[in-house]
Amino acid sequence: MTPLRQRFIEDMLLHGLAPSTQLSYVHYVAAFAKFYNTSPEHLDLEDIRQYELYLLNERKLSPESINSFVSAVQFLYQHTLEAPWGKECFPRVRRPHKLPVVLSAEEVDRFFQHVPNLRYRAALMVCYGSGLRVSEAVSLKVSDIDSQRMLLRVRQGKGRKDRYTMLSPRLLAVLRSYYRAARPKDYLFPSWGSSGHLTSGALGGACTLAARQAGITKRTTVHTLRHSFATHLLENGTDTRVIQVLLGHSRIETTARYTQVSARVVAGTPSPLDLLRRRRSQTKTGK
């Protein structure tokens, strides 16, 4: 390992970056160095710009992947190499605005009817019933279930933040049934034959298969269940700021996007045209 890579990794540790983020950053910086066949300390902003264009035009990478590369080199140059380059020196690719896919309540019910494995069903119900990300659901521990206060503890979620979210009576009943059958010791959803937990990929595969067998044509991932959780709460009248806390969003703007996919909110909002007619009727009545 080169001294630069070692210091890069140490800086990421000091800044509290998640292990998955560290692996991603090392991957992108290594590919960047390999492309120019030289150490990043000998490269400059124009080299970063040309490589970004290469990823966009020749490699045809997604905006998300290119922006991940930008985040990696920005951290490297600003923190490890201490280059005097501000955030504006690292332009990002604009991502197309896409609304999240949301299942209807009927589709969610049909979906769970086609998850045959008790462990997968319990884990997927956690994602829909409590709004967890897939990584948060698979890493739950038995001790994270607080049945007295009807809460689930999420340890070190996105942004390395702990939070509590709801534990509904139905979800608690499902988890108790699963616990009696599986008797997990540490992780709530342990991996077969190892001391670790169920992988995100395994749960994602079970989700895709269940959606297909349920005849759901929408692209359905584990994250779709989280989107559906938030949207259904909103449609049932839950305040947006409460949903923000449950989801662990740092910004209310992130949560507010669910108003764009809520059929009840969109369809139930009075049109200004209807309000004009109502005001005209009230004016005539007043006269």
Residue at 78 is within a domain: yes
Please report, for residues 93, 166, 287, the alpha-carbon distance to residue 67 in angstroms, rounded to integers and kept in the order given: 6, 33, 62
Q: Are residues 199 and 62 in the same domain?
A: no
Q: Are residues 109 and 41 in the same domain?
A: no
Q: Which helix (H) or strand (E) holds 112?
A: helix 105-113
Please report, for residues 146, 150, 249, the alpha-carbon distance to residue 169 in angstroms, rounded to integers and kept in the order given: 12, 8, 24
For residue 27, indicate whether it is catalytic: no
Counted domains in the chain: 2
Give the pLDDT confidence score for residue 18 in this predicted structure.
Answer: 83
Exactly one of 158, 179, 187, 257 is catalytic; which is it?
A: 158
Residue at 285 is within a domain: no
Q: What is the chain's alpha carbon radius of gyration, rounded to the nearest angstrom? A: 24
Q: Are residues 15 and 85 in the same domain?
A: yes
For residue 223, indicate whether it is catalytic: yes
Residue at 280 is within a domain: no
47 token code pair: 């080299």
For residue 226, indicate whether it is catalytic: yes
Which CATH number belongs to the domain containing residue 81 in this structure? 1.10.150.130
Which residues constitute the domain of residue 137?
105-266
213 token code pair: 């067998």
Q: Are residues 122 and 184 in the same domain?
A: yes
Which CATH number belongs to the domain containing residue 116 in this structure? 1.10.443.10
Exactly one of 197, 226, 227, 232 is catalytic; which is it?
A: 226
Instruction: Please give the biggest Cα pair distance in the chain.
Output: 85
Final residue of a structural domain among 56, 89, 122: 89
Q: Which helix (H) or strand (E) holds 129?
A: helix 118-130
Exactly one of 51, 120, 128, 258 is catalytic; which is it?
A: 258
Give the pLDDT confidence score for residue 157 in this predicted structure.
Answer: 66
Give the pLDDT confidence score for residue 285 in this predicted structure.
Answer: 58
For residue 158, indicate whether it is catalytic: yes
Give the pLDDT confidence score for residue 203 in this predicted structure.
Answer: 95
Q: Are residues 124 and 256 in the same domain?
A: yes
Exactly one of 133, 163, 197, 232 is catalytic; which is it?
A: 133
Q: Are residues 113 and 204 in the same domain?
A: yes
Q: Are residues 125 and 244 in the same domain?
A: yes
Q: Are residues 139 and 241 in the same domain?
A: yes
Q: Are residues 114 and 246 in the same domain?
A: yes
Q: Are residues 147 and 70 in the same domain?
A: no
Residue at 122 is within a domain: yes
Q: Are residues 249 and 208 in the same domain?
A: yes
Q: Are residues 139 and 245 in the same domain?
A: yes
Nearest-CA neighbor of 23 among 8, 34, 33? 8
> Please, are residues 204 and 134 in contact by the beta-carbon 8 Å criterion?
yes
Residue at 97 is within a domain: no
pTM of the entire structure? 0.69
Residue at 276 is within a domain: no
Give the pLDDT confidence score for residue 226 in this predicted structure.
Answer: 92
Which residues of the chain have a pLDDT value below 70? Answer: 157, 159, 194, 261-287
Model confidence pLDDT, tens digit, residues 27-73: 999 999 999 999 999 999 999 999 999 999 999 999 999 999 999 99
Give the pLDDT confidence score for residue 179 in this predicted structure.
Answer: 95
